[in-house]
């Protein structure tokens, strides 16, 4: 990792970047998997790495009693928080407008500048969410409304040794205090943050109560709710400006995007504070990192 390279003296600064275009290639397309080895298919746990993500959400909901009603309510809150943040312009400081050329309805090409996330739906209601059919299994609880969206995005974070940042006159938005990666059963991969967060907090010498803001990925409402409740995190501390259900979850982009959102939120609060970024990872992992906003 870049932070590890900086710590061992390999370099002084680096860009941590991530990009994903989920709209161009569906994970449901068998050709997107590439070659799957016979040895992998021989082992049950390894085969579970191929379980569609939506079914892992259903597994979490069933095993831990996360009802459809609670998932829909969580999704509604995500959209409400994101809509408020978008209306107040909170995302403008962390976003770069992208200009491209698209084909119009008449076939002619025209320029288009994207300045905001398109997935936020201020008009979302519980009534509307309740009408959506299960997306992955009959009588399931995971729907298009309480899951993250198919979305595209990119994000980048500049990571530097403090002395180099000072030398170059770079603003220090936050300090990486610790990080952890854990393994969990692939068939319930969404529980990853519930185990990665305690591991990262222990390394930092902190507890849940010490953390001001948690940015936890919302791949599905089922897994996000499980993680929040497992760790007894007050909901008001979680994704205060909405999460992936509203903003989107371009997989390779999510970690950097969450860090950017977290550090800017801590900066707005204007005091020294700690924040956590965490996400589940397909195939059965979880990752988390603890950041400190220095409060200057």
> Residue 112 to residues 94, 99, 108, 253: CA-CA distances in angstroms?
20, 6, 13, 22
Q: Name the pTM for this structure.
A: 0.92
Give me the pLDDT at residue 27, please: 52
In 3D space, the residue among 218, 257, 220 whose CA is nearest the CA of residue 238 turns out to be 218
| Structural domains present in the chain | 2-27+36-95+113-293 (3.40.47.10)
Which residues have a Cβ under 8 Å from the Cβ of 189 and sit 6 or more positions away? 53, 56, 280, 281, 282, 283, 284, 285, 286
Exposure class string for 143-162: b at 16+ Cβ within 10 A, else e: bebbbbbbbbbbbebebbee
> How do residues 21-47 score in pLDDT, each as one tens digit?
988 876 555 555 567 777 877 888 788
Tokens 């007894």 locate to 232
CA distance 189 to 174: 29
Share of the chain above pLDDT 90, in %: 83
HSE-up of 23 (CA within 13 Å, CB side)? Answer: 5
8 Å CB contact between 119 and 151 = yes
Give me the pLDDT at residue 39, please: 80
Q: Residue 222: count other Cβ atoms within 10 Å of its Cβ.
A: 32
């Amino acid at each position: 990792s870049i932070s590890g390279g900086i710590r061992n003296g390999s370099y002084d600064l680096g860009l941590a970047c991530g990009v994903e275009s989920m709209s161009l290639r569906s994970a449901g397309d068998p050709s997107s998997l590439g070659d799957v080895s016979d040895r992998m298919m021989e082992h049950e746990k390894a085969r579970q790495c191929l379980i569609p993500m939506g079914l892992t959400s259903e597994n979490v909901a069933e095993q831990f009693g996360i009802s459809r009603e609670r998932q829909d309510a969580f999704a509604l809150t995500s959209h409400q928080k994101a809509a408020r943040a978008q209306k107040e312009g909170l995302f403008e400081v962390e976003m770069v407008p992208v200009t491209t050329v698209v084909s119009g309805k008449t076939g002619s090409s025209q320029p288009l500048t994207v300045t905001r996330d398109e997935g936020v739906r201020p008009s979302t209601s519980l009534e509307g969410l309740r009408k959506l059919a299960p997306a992955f299994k009959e009588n399931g609880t995971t729907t298009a409304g309480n899951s993250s969206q198919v979305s595209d995005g990119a994000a980048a974070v500049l990571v530097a040794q403090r002395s180099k940042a000072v030398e170059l006159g770079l603003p220090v938005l936050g300090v990486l205090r610790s990080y952890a990666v854990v393994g969990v059963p692939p068939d319930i991969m969404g529980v990853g943050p519930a185990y990665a967060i305690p591991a990262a907090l222990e390394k930092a010498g902190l507890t849940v109560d010490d953390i001001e803001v948690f940015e936890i990925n919302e791949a599905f409402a089922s897994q996000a709710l499980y993680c929040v409740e497992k760790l007894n995190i007050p909901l008001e501390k979680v994704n205060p400006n909405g999460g992936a259900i509203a903003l989107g979850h371009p997989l390779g982009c999510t970690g950097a995007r969450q860090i950017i959102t977290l550090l800017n939120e801590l900066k707005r609060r204007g005091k020294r504070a700690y924040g956590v970024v965490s996400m589940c990872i397909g195939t059965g992992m979880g990752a988390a990192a603890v950041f400190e906003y220095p409060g200057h």
